[in-house]
Amino acid sequence: MTYQEKVAYAHRVIENTMIEARNPAIMSSFGKDSMVMLDLVRQHAKLPVIFHREPFQPKKYRFANSVIEDLNLTVIDYPPAG
């Protein structure tokens, strides 16, 4: 499968999911794979982002915070349990 075919397939999956989902959201770690998926999904819809952030390493999230601000994302941040 070529790169273009993979991207086209990903767009079809996203379109079908958007049709079928009642309340879609995207989970992101803001790592390289999540950033690609976020970019693909944002070409179809602006969804809320679920992001699990550990409170003890705030410097670790500098990049995530800058992306959240730059893209004006709605982020649902669930604190770790226990």
pLDDT tens-digit series, residues 5-33: 999 999 999 999 999 999 999 999 999 99
Region 27-54: mean pLDDT is 94
Q: What pLDDT score does 5 carry? A: 97
Nearest to 23 by CA among 50, 53, 51: 50
DSSP calls for 10-42? HHHHHHHHHHH-SS--EE---SHHHHHHHHHHH
CA distances, 24 to each of 14, 15, 16, 37, 73 (Å): 11, 12, 12, 14, 14
Q: Which two tokens stand for residue 50?
A: 């679920």
Q: What are φ and ψ of residue 6, in 5° steps? A: -65, -45
